[in-house]
Each structure stands twice: as structure tokens, then as C-alpha cells.
Amino acid sequence: MKNRISILVILLFPLVLKSEKLIFGENSISSNEMILQLENSKALYFLNGEGDGCDGFTASFTYSEDIYNFFNVNSNCKNKKLKDFKCITKIDEESIKYQEYLHCDNKLVLYNKSKKVNEGLIRNFKGIQVITQGLKDATVTSNLKMREKPSKDSKSFECFFSHLDDESISNKEISFIPKNYTITVIAKTKNEDYIGDKKNFWYLIFPISDSYNGCLLKNSDQKDGWVFGEYIKLDN
């Protein structure tokens, strides 16, 4: 009898692990994205941001040995049954943000938002060797330009924030991240640089934002940018 109970526990253990809510999405920090939410054997794929809510689906799923099987898949809008599909859990050895992702046979690729890349790994970002920072938070200590590349001569981003205390810059296009604003730190350069007599690393960051607030490089969809480390304070 005791052996039968042990076997039952082993068989059920993967399902117990997946009873917690899991969130999968793009390999980005942006809030405006398609999200796959898994909880208690139910799946919901939806747009977490601005839109009509018609994209996506609902489904049921099972999990075993790093494989998710999705069935009873129905479109969110058209009440149309969609094809069942399977996703395999994989590790991205090159990512600078999230390390674990689902590779699905319906062409979906979705990253586990709870599996951040560890701090201190050497990676390549657009031809630049960087050291990952584990998506830690930091605060801007001065009005700070965000740049396309780790150089003071690189193009700067345009920003818009609607919820600032300073009315002179709130709800206006500005060319900097305001002092005391919270950012997410993705990575830093391997070597320090000088700006004047200041020596520090360049940090690849993403300002905390939503559909209406944030920074964007003109004529580009790039939202991650570089700031000089002398003017940010990393959270412990």
C-alpha cells in the first residue's frame, strides 16, 4: 500500500508544480504584449495592453517532463475551435532577459517571466559584449539621456510620461528620463568608460512603463537603451 502511494505522488508531482500561476510572453520587459497565463490546468492567451481583446485563445493543458499539451483550444473572439498544440520547455543560452521559454508546434515562442537570466553572465547584445544584471531595479539620480549605443555621442531616445509630479515635463515629449524615475537594469558593458572625469560602466536599461508611458528611439521600435552608470543608483 505504501509503495502504491509513493508511485501516485511521483506521478502527480509535475501537476502540483504547475498549479501556481505562470506567465509567459515576449523576451522583453514591455507591458504591451501577448501573454500566456497558465493556472490550474487552464490557459489564457491575451493582449496585455491596448487593443480590442480579440487576439488569443482559451485552452486546457497538461504538463509532464517539460512538455505542455494544450487542448480544447478556442479563439477569444470568434468562438472558433483551434487546433490542439504542444510546447516544449527550452533554455535560451544567449538571452539577456529571460532564460526559459516555450517552443510550440504552432510557432509560438513564449518566455517564462519568472525565469530571469542570472546576474554576471557574459552575453552578446547587438555585437557588444555585456554582463547580465538579472533585471534588477535602479533609480535615476539626475535627468538622464537614454542612448541607442553605449556612447555619449549616440542618438538619444524621446520619452513621454503622464504621471510625473513635475508639471513642466509631465504629459510632454522630453529627451531624458526624469530624476528619481525607476528603471530596470538588463546588462552593463564589460569595460568602464569616461565622460569627462567620470568613470563608470554603461548600463542597458528599460524605464518602467506601460502603453502610454516610456521611451522610444525615433524611426525604430527599440525600447531598451543605454545610460551612463554615474547617474543611476542600483537597488540592493
What is the tens place of the pLDDT at every residue in 152-163? Answer: 999 999 999 988
Residue 203 confidence (pLDDT) above 80: yes
Of residues 236 and 91, more confidence is placed in 91
Q: Find out whether 42 and 60 touch, Cβ atoms under 8 Å.
A: yes
* The pairing of beta strand 22-25 with beta strand 33-39: antiparallel
- CA dist 190 and 201 (Å) reads 8
- CA dist 175 and 172 (Å) reads 10
- Judge if pTM exceeds 0.85: yes
